[in-house]
Structure 1
Amino acid sequence: MRHRARWALGAALLLGSTLAQAQTAVVIGGALKFDNDSVWQRVVDEAGGPQARFVVFGTAAANPARSAAQIVEALNRRGARAEALAITPQLPADQLAAALRDPVLLDKVRSARGVFFSGGAQEHITATFQPGGKPTPMLDAIWDVYRRGGVVAGTSAGAAIMSRVMFRDAQDVMEVLGGQLRPGREIDQGLGFVGPDLFIDQHFLKRGRIGRMLPLMVAQGLRVGLGIEENSAAVIKGHQAEVIGARGALFVDLRDARTDSTLGAFNLQNARLSYLERGDRIDLKTGVVTASEAKRSSSPIDPAASDFKPYFKNEPFYPDILGDNTIAQAMAQLLDSPASELRGLAARLGPQGEVRGQPGFEFRLYKGPGTRGWFTGAFGGEDYTVVNVHLDVRPVRVNSPLYVPIVAPQGAPLPASSPTGRP
């Protein structure tokens, strides 16, 4: 009897461990195309494949019914059995409160294998399911699905709510870099599906959001972050993550980083960045990256190797380091070049230079002992995985004006007329 009880306890512990490991968050960076089979199908497969039951919440969307219906159709086309639940802040307050504790709706959630949150405004999700920071019965039911090994997926706003802390409304990256991080305004409490230590941001490369992620992580004491690009996703199970979809994700590691409080503006030294693309995996605890099979079949890029032959020859300066995909391009350029470092600028410039006296910020990317990566052309482009590029950010004063036009000296002859008679 004692052995049987001991076996039963061991089996229960093993089952509990298995279920915990099976918890899956599919964090989608926004702008997910409906023909992106690699992401949509993966969401369904992670929930059990054909006939997997999903509930869909269009809560964040401006038109919740339409958004939820589109997601339901996309999931069902990949074999799921999805249903939209009309839980939206557009309902009258008494109807919304009743819906959030309706036994019929709660049973539908608990019997599902997956939950999907639409894009839109993430504050609508948190204010609806977790008003005042207190979980509703509906949120408890969603957590039941997740804890039993189900899938919680979300795109854009539905991705933002995945971490403990989220950006609420911080579209202006330069304002955040300049120090504007107000609770209840720019930042707020998320739902925390990916745990207390990992920060998530979305639309990341397209909108240069590394400029807002870094100040938030420093202010909140968060050491690791994952910024996910549009039409791409990270499948997160425990501390393991895999990137799928069209592009990639940027892993930000601040465990060895430091700041200088005497400068009076945001600054950072020795952050580490790794850029992952489709098929790449990362251990979020150790930062160890496993490249996709397509990249592992090619030669790795190791700038410290004796036979390193860099592809790029120039050492560019990036005048808008927060531009569309610029940070990832700069990391790839640095990896596959003879340069030991590259620099870029983040600044808001007007006709008279700096706007409202805000400083600019210099981003210095540099190689370290663990900087390496891979390249492949298998996807029809120039795709890099870049591991352990170091980053310093320091505030700088930008000359005002940054540039002036070239004018002809007085008395210079007029330019000859063109054949059309125009100068």
Structure 2
Amino acid sequence: MHALLLRLTAAAVFFLHLTVQAGTAIVIGGATKSDNDAVWQRVVDEAGGPGARIAVFATAAANPERSAGLIVASLNRRGANAEAIPVAPRQKDVDWQANLNDPALIAKVAASKGVFFSGGAQEYIVDTLQPGGEPTAMLKAIRQVFDNGGVVAGTSAGAAIMSRIMFRDAPDNMQILKGQWRDKREYDQGLGFVNSGLFVDQHFLKRGRIGRMLPAMRALGYTQGLGIEENSAAVIKDHEVEIIGARGALLVDLSEASSDARLPAFNVRGAVISYLDRGDKHDLKTGVTTPAAHKLRDQKLDPASADYRPFLQFDHYFLDILADNTIVTAMSQLLDGRSPEVRGLAYRVRPRPGDLSPELGFEFRLYKGLGTMGWFSNALGSDDYTVLKVRLDVTPVRMAAPLFTPVQPASESAAPAVAPARPG
């Protein structure tokens, strides 16, 4: 019943994501390197530049003191005046509950121009700052920073809390695809710093999290999702998204997608996915993507154009579509290849204890459709694609168990005679 209410609520508030948001949300995909100037400097710049006061919360971290120290150092090297706020349940020798309600600390946060959430376990952030779904005075101070035009940034767990609804503890893509979906376990209320109609996820391409985003969005009634890759970030101002950092993000659009209720497992037809690379910008309101300037100076790939000349001359079937960055590789091969579709499988060769439906797998079919296009460039030293509006169907399939059996040697009586080699 609760899941149904969540779906209805999500559908009812979808159009609220067009409401103007005063602040800037910087959603960082995790594993952010200390030398990633594009991301760290952008946080400082959005908070006001040199001398910007930024409150750092390592609430989610396993070692809060260490995590906060590294983040403060990275921000201060770029000119910020960052300070750790010791509100973390796993921080030793600190009364974090007293700090959570300390008027002096709350005032210090409210006077900041930016807030930064560390990685770790996102449930610690919501359980600490929003226990039982009710905002604490500290969370209200953080929202005040945002509402006054400041920046709220977060990496990994700190990115997960940016949605109105978030993944709480859902590391297993396959189990979610197979239907494991429980309130306060796999999902929970987030803090909602991005538009209410946008669902975000992190570590996205590295960990193949398209496998968990699709069923989550369908269950919660979301039609727009953004999965940010590691060491990369999405800078979100109102309905404008800009991708910065090392790689990119996957944009998922389910506004015209459908499912077959007759099938006993998750399925979707007509999803639209786009890969936004570093430097690309996207307008969530109009649906228009503007590629990075260096892409516009390079090669456009439009299958509907008379001068479309795909480079790749082979077809490929991906045996693990949820592997590291494989979904984007498949999208790039579709865009720059002759075939009208590319397929891949999501399945588990060795079922784990408690695995739901061990024989169940899913086939991903990516195909070209209206508006499928993109750009290619190696101006930054690698083969970089922007890929827009690829269609995606996901269909449940029954896998063999075991998937394969070893080939046995032929019996001696059936084995052909082999003549001995001649000496010398």
Structure 2 length-normalised TM: 0.90
Residue 20 of structure 1 deviates from its aligned partner by: 5.1
User: Are 2:205 and 1:205 aligned?
Assistant: yes
Equivalenced residue count is 399
Mapped partners of 2:417, 2:188: distance in 1: 61
Question: Could you say what the CA RMSD is over the residues aligned between the two structures, in angstroms?
Answer: 2.1
Kindly report which structure 2 residues correspond to 1:12-411, keeping only aligned pairs within 5 A, or say none. 22-90=22-90, 95-350=95-350, 356-411=357-412
CA contact (8 A) 1:178 1:358 kept: no
Q: CA deviation digits over 1:97-117, x for unaligned, max 9?
A: 332221110111111100000
Of the two structures, which has the highest relative contact order with CA contacts closer than 8 Å and spacing of 6 or more?
2
Q: CA deviation digits over 1:85-144, x for unaligned, max 9?
A: 100113699943332221110111111100000000000000000000000000000000
Mapped partners of 2:96, 2:179: distance in 1: 36
CA contact (8 A) 1:321 1:327 kept: yes
CA contact (8 A) 2:165 2:190 kept: yes
Mark the CA change 1:148 to 1:344 in structure 2 (over 3 Å): closer, same or farther.
Answer: same
Describe the SS at the equivalent of 1:263: coil
Mapped partners of 2:172, 2:420: distance in 1: 47
Mapped partners of 1:90, 1:321: distance in 2: 36
CA contact (8 A) 1:348 1:355 kept: no
**Counterpart in 2 of 1:5?**
none
Residue 417 of structure 1 deviates from its aligned partner by: 10
Mapped partners of 1:36, 1:241: distance in 2: 19
| Worse-superposed segment, 51-60 or 400-409 | 400-409
Describe the SS at the equivalent of 2:88: coil
Calculate percent identity across the aligned residue pairs: 60
User: Partner amino acid for 1:282?
Assistant: H
Describe the SS at the equivalent of 2:300: coil
Describe the SS at the equivalent of 2:307: coil
Residue 410 of structure 1 deviates from its aligned partner by: 2.2
Residue 369 of structure 1 deviates from its aligned partner by: 1.4
Mapped partners of 2:304, 2:419: distance in 1: 55
Residue 299 of structure 1 deviates from its aligned partner by: 2.7
Mapped partners of 1:417, 1:335: distance in 2: 54
Q: CA deviation digits over 1:334-374, x for unaligned, max 9?
A: 0001111111000112289x985341001000000100000
Residue 414 of structure 1 deviates from its aligned partner by: 8.2
Mark the CA change 1:91 to 1:369 in structure 2 (over 3 Å): closer, same or farther.
Answer: closer
Mark the CA change 1:21 to 1:194 in structure 2 (over 3 Å): closer, same or farther.
Answer: closer
Describe the SS at the equivalent of 2:402: coil
Mark the CA change 1:238 to 1:404 in structure 2 (over 3 Å): closer, same or farther.
Answer: same
Describe the SS at the equivalent of 2:270: strand
Mapped partners of 2:284, 2:247: distance in 1: 19
User: Partner amino acid for 1:40?
Assistant: W
User: Partner amino acid for 1:204?
Assistant: F
Describe the SS at the equivalent of 1:54: strand
Q: CA deviation digits over 1:25-81, x for unaligned, max 9?
A: 000000000010110001101111111110000110001011001100000000000
| Worse-superposed segment, 128-137 or 86-95 | 86-95
| Worse-superposed segment, 86-95 or 390-399 | 86-95
Structure 1 length-normalised TM: 0.91
Residue 306 of structure 1 deviates from its aligned partner by: 1.2
Describe the SS at the equivalent of 1:213: helix
Identify unmatched segments of 5+ residues in structure 1.
Answer: 1-18, 419-423
Identify unmatched segments of 5+ residues in structure 2.
Answer: 1-18
Mapped partners of 2:169, 2:351: distance in 1: 28
User: Partner amino acid for 1:235?
Assistant: V
Mapped partners of 1:416, 1:249: distance in 2: 61
Mapped partners of 2:58, 2:67: distance in 1: 6
Residue 260 of structure 1 deviates from its aligned partner by: 1.2
Mark the CA change 1:219 to 1:314 in structure 2 (over 3 Å): closer, same or farther.
Answer: same
CA contact (8 A) 2:163 2:194 kept: yes
User: Partner amino acid for 1:396?
Assistant: V
CA contact (8 A) 1:57 1:85 kept: yes
Mark the CA change 1:410 to 1:290 in structure 2 (over 3 Å): closer, same or farther.
Answer: same
Mark the CA change 1:407 to 1:288 in structure 2 (over 3 Å): closer, same or farther.
Answer: same
Describe the SS at the equivalent of 1:258: coil
**Counterpart in 1 of 2:13?**
none
Mapped partners of 1:335, 1:238: distance in 2: 30
| Worse-superposed segment, 279-288 or 369-378 | 279-288
Describe the SS at the equivalent of 1:381: coil
CA contact (8 A) 1:351 1:401 kept: no
